[in-house]
Amino acid sequence: MRILHTSDWHIGRSFHGHSTLDALSGVLDALVAQVRENSVDVVIVAGDVFDSAAPSAACYPVLTSTLASLGAAGARVVVTSGNHDSAARLGFQSALLRDEITVVTDPHAVGTPVTIDDEHGPVHFYGIPYLEPAIVRHLWEGVELRSQAQTMQHALDLVRADLAERGGRSVVAAHCFAAGVDATPGVEREIRQGGLDVVSLSAFDGPDYVALGHIHGRQQISTRVRYAGAPVHYSFGEAGKPRGSWLVDLDADGLTDVTWLDLPVPRPLVTLRAPLDDLLTDDRFADLHEHWVRAEYTDSTPQPDPMRRLQARFPWCATVVHVPAQTLPDDGTGYARRVRSARDDGEVIDTFLAHVREGEGASEAERALMREVLDARSVAEATA
């Protein structure tokens, strides 16, 4: 049996204010083509199908069209809900889909597989929807479920108990933070990444393959426990990480091979760091006008209207950050003490400018202007 493992579509997520629906639709079309070209029997979508619990109306056609296309390509589809999804909305969607598409959102279904036969016999697919401990602990009396780790451990115990009775090969699809992964800061949110909420590798013992979701980059925890990551980039922190899915082969005895299939990247991401004038004129950036750009300009002082100026060269510049190349060394005195030690108003102003400009005080022209203004104030006070 041949299985395609994908996850974290996040239909409806924006990228720095830009819609990603068209880009994601194109990538999912490429995924459908891979299913057809590789004669995939089963597609697993391991959670976070939508980006929010209340997706916009424009999100639903992307999902229904993709799932229908996967079915038309000859694949069975097993979808589980993630921490971003509304299980109720995703579960309602499942009632409208074809028989070859199964959407697992009900915690009561944990431990009950979708069984699909091939020439070697049955393969049991155990979908585990995202399980919030506070919401599901009442479903299993006498079991302590205070953390994500405990809840996933219990769910997998249910899988192993059922599998011990049924026998045969098995695949688990789940959405969690497993020990040993390298997360993208600020991206994989809302499932805590420390302490008791990290699911140990031993919790996944038993199944022939474990298809995980939640981490946006490709990860191999073990030969049979993997993350596929998101099909498109949703953060500059993901730049350079490949986009794709795992192609998983089972024979009569279980897992035989896992191959990575790359998906196209609609628009590459790049972070540029240089003085603003270099970003606007240097030839080494000439080929990046079609990239998503995060610009970090290193001028010592903030520059006027940097986003508008950068977008004239990089139409897809999405964010601009001022990152001074030199910062004011910490002399231990602190800003307040430096202000109190200033001998006159001119030094107070110069200290303030050095503070907000990361070390660069007033220029000679600015000092001359300050002296003029302060002298005029002194004259006005003296004649009042």
For the segment 275-290, the average pLDDT, to the nearest whole number, is: 95
How far is residue 281's CA from residue 262's CA, in Å, rounded to a whole number? 34
Strand segments, DSSP code E, in the chain are 2-6, 14-15, 18-19, 42-46, 76-80, 101-104, 114-118, 121-127, 169-175, 209-213, 219-222, 225-227, 244-251, 254-262, 269-274, 292-297, 317-322
3-state secondary structure (DSSP) of residue 171: strand
How far is residue 206's CA from residue 345's CA, in Å, rounded to a whole number? 74
Tell me the per-residue pLDDT of 187-239, one tens digit each, with 9 for 90 and over: 554 454 444 478 989 999 999 999 999 999 899 999 999 999 999 999 998 88
- Percent of the chain residues topping a pLDDT of 90: 59
Rg over CA atoms, the chain: 28
Sheet holding 169-175, edge to edge: 114-118, 121-127, 169-175, 209-213, 225-227, 219-222
Name which of 178-187, 271-280, 373-382 the model is least confident about. 178-187
- Kindly indicate the confidence band of residue 36, based on its pLDDT and cuts at 50, 70 and 90: very high
Higher pLDDT, 373 or 162: 162
Contact by Cβ (8 Å): 173, 140: no
CATH assignment of 2-262?
A: 3.60.21.10
Spans of all domains in the chain = 2-262, 269-322, 335-383
How far is residue 294's CA from residue 272's CA, in Å, rounded to a whole number? 6
Encoded tokens for 254: 């279980």
pLDDT of 164 higher than 90: yes
Taking the model in full, what pTM does it have? Answer: 0.82
How far is residue 382's CA from residue 384's CA, in Å, rounded to a whole number? 6
Contact by Cβ (8 Å): 130, 81: yes
Q: What is the average pLDDT value for the chain, to the nearest integer?
A: 87
Encoded tokens for 225: 């426990």
Encoded tokens for 93: 């969607």
pLDDT of 271 higher than 70: yes
